[in-house]
A and B are shown apart, each in its own frame.
Chain A
Amino acid sequence: MKKFIISAVCVMAMASCQTQQSLYSWYDSEDAIYTYTKRGTEETLAKAMAQYEKVISKQKGLRKVVPPGVNAEYGYLLCKAGKKEEGLTLLRAEIKAYPESEKFISRIINQLEK
């Protein structure tokens, strides 16, 4: 019986490893963002923002870091929603995490700072 339980646990552990291959946790962000870009309402924006917060604060993927573009996208939306300082901080965080994004993101930052 003990052996059975041990092997069952092993199988479960292996199964969970298989599903843990994702580099990043996305939660429902893609869908929320898609819905927001399609409808553009206050309600869909709030839902998208909640998802960004989750993706930024709760990374359970293999890399344990925020996926490419997420800090930038959220920062960009915050700037557009009037939270400029908060937004710019996130845009700068994108460059810090992904230096290869600098060319594009600093262009955006320059536009927003004007």
Chain B
Amino acid sequence: MSSCAEQVTRLAQYPKMYEEKPLTIAVMPPINQTNFVEAKDYFYTTLYAPLCEKGYYVYSPMMTMEMFQSESAYDAEQFIEADLSQFRNVLGADAAMFTIIKSWKRNKIGGKLTAGVEYILRSTKTGETLYKREGLISVDTSVNSGGGGGLFGALVDMAATAIATAATDKVVAGRRCTVFVLSDMPEGKYGTKYDQDQNLPAGKSYVKATVK
């Protein structure tokens, strides 16, 4: 109950999202601060569909990755605080989504994977941070969501149903983490609540949760 009282609206939490109304997003290669080298690749692919589902135009990571690699931009560290106008000029991107993988841990018992990830969306026009949220999300990769699930249940389920049996559980876990953390991100042009979600509650800027 007390958390309800403290809740802020999306407009109050992310005012610049509504000011700038970004439409096109370039997904930057994740910045991996963990010792698990492969986390970067696993995570890179999990950002695209959830952002599309939020109503944005997202450049194909497969195609931009080739460009980033040839322009030696595969290390996003150098851009996280730098001028982003080149992404606007070359791609036409309104914003760039940075992710910092802070922790990546697998519990030996029960198949649980815990990922600590920070999401930062920066404007290529003004350089301002439009959206920022961090999550420490434990994903039980052995169990399906099973529906219900309260506020974010439907969204998490949506991701769960999109998961192929062939997927590696690390990709699955990364995607669920992304869907969960970005659930309070204001929607883009193609979303059903575009420019109508100002008064919906924003989540806490640091969220800790277990997603089944």
Contact = CB atoms under 8 A, between A and B. Distances in A.
B52 A104 contact: no
Nearest to B161: A19
B90 interface: yes
Contacts of B52: 23-24, 67-69
Q: How large is the interface on B (under 10, 10 to 19, 20 to 34, 35 or more residues)?
A: 35 or more
Contacts of B151: none
A23 B59 contact: no
A31 B164 contact: yes
B90 A104 contact: yes
B55 to A, nearest CB: 7
Contacts of A27: 164
Contact of B92 (A62, A68, A72, A100): A100
A28 B57 CA distance: 20
A63 B45 contact: no
Among B52, B60, B90, B175, the most chain A Cβ lie within 10 Å of the Cβ of B60
Q: How large is the interface on A (under 10, 10 to 19, 20 to 34, 35 or more residues)?
A: 35 or more
A72 B60 contact: yes
B150 to A, nearest CB: 12
Please report whether the interface of chain B is mostly helix, strand, loop or mixed according to DSSP. mixed
B55 A26 contact: no
A103 B92 contact: yes
Contact of A72 (B53, B63, B168): B63
Contacts of A24: 49, 52-53
A78 to B, nearest CB: 13
Nearest to B46: A30
A107 B163 CA distance: 33
B167 A69 contact: no
Interface string B156-193: 01100111101110010001000000000000001110
A23 B55 contact: yes
A101 interface: yes
A104 B157 contact: no
Interface string B125-163: 000000000000000000000010000001101100111
Interface stretch (A2-10, A33-41, A81-89): A33-41
Interface string A16-30: 001101111011101
B57 A33 contact: no
B12 to A, nearest CB: 25
B154 A18 contact: yes
A21 B58 contact: no
B45 A19 contact: no
Contacts of A108: 63
B82 interface: no
B22 to A, nearest CB: 10
Shortest Cβ-Cβ A-B pairs, 4 listed:
A103-B92, A28-B164, A69-B60, A31-B164
